[in-house]
């Protein structure tokens, strides 16, 4: 199970947070800060696994993260997930973002947090991996966007 997915930038500013277990807002912020603190002080050439922070999870949980340019993608998972598998999943997710936004950069995430959520929803659902096939994810996202567009057009034509 995935307990949380956090995306923040090199300064710890959250760009997307997705908790699959309830935490109050202030606790969420604390977790983000702690996670950022743990992750940001690591060099880029150390391993991508981190035994979880004290706030989220506990001994069974691990932070698995990847650092892309200005953004950290952090998944907090328990022992039922394969570590290398989750690393691949992050890669799939980022590549999907790249396809959907065409050369994704931090600004896309900043201004389209909702869209990033919708894409993530096609990858992970309720803390479990839903789909790992990038083409399928992109297809579903596009179909939904098309539906949204058609609704907007209907609305505009009124």
Residues that bind other proteins (CB under 8 A): 1, 14, 16-18, 20, 22, 24-26, 28-29, 42-43, 45-51, 80, 82-85, 87-88, 110-114, 117-118, 121, 125-133, 136, 140, 143-144, 147-148, 151-152, 155, 158
Nearest approach, Cβ of residue 121 and other proteins (Å): 5
* 36 Ramachandran zone, left/alpha/beta (phi>0; psi -120 to 50): alpha
Least Å from the CB of residue 82 to other proteins: 5
Regarding beta strands 2-9 and 14-19, do their DSSP bridges make them parallel or antiparallel, or are they unpaired?
Answer: antiparallel
In the bound complex, what is the minimum distance in angstroms from residue 138's beta carbon to other proteins?
A: 14
Could you tell me the sign of the dihedral formed by the alpha carbons of 127, 129, 130, 131, in that order?
Answer: positive
How far is Cα 52 from Cα 126, in angstroms, rounded to an integer? 20
**In this complex, which beta carbon is closest to other proteins, that of residue 69 or of residue 154?**
154
Query: Which of helix, strand or coil describes residue 31?
Result: helix
CB-based burial label for 138 (10 Å; 0-12, 13-18, 19+): middle
Smallest gap, in angstroms, from Cβ of residue 85 to other proteins?
5
Q: Between residues 98 and 144, which has the closer beta carbon with respect to other proteins?
A: 144
* Cβ-based neighbours of 38, under 8 Å, separated by 6 or more: 50, 53, 63
**Residue 102 Cβ, how far from other proteins at the closest point, in Å?**
17
């Amino acid at each position: 199970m995935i307990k949380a997915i956090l995306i923040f930038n090199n300064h710890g500013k959250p760009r997307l947070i997705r908790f699959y277990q309830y935490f109050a807002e202030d606790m969420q912020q604390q977790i983000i800060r702690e996670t950022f603190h743990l992750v940001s002080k690591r060099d880029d050439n150390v391993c991508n696994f981190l035994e979880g922070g004290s706030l989220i999870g506990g001994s069974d949980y691990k932070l698995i993260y990847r650092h892309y340019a200005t953004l950290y993608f952090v998944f907090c998972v328990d022992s039922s997930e394969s570590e290398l598998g989750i690393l691949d999943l992050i890669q799939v997710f980022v590549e999907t973002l790249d396809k959907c936004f065409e050369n994704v950069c931090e600004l896309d995430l900043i201004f389209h947090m909702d869209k990033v959520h919708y894409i993530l929803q096609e990858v992970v659902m309720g803390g479990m991996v839903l789909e790992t096939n990038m083409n399928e994810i992109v297809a579903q996202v596009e179909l939904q966007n098309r539906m949204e567009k058609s609704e907007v057009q209907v609305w505009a034509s009124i």
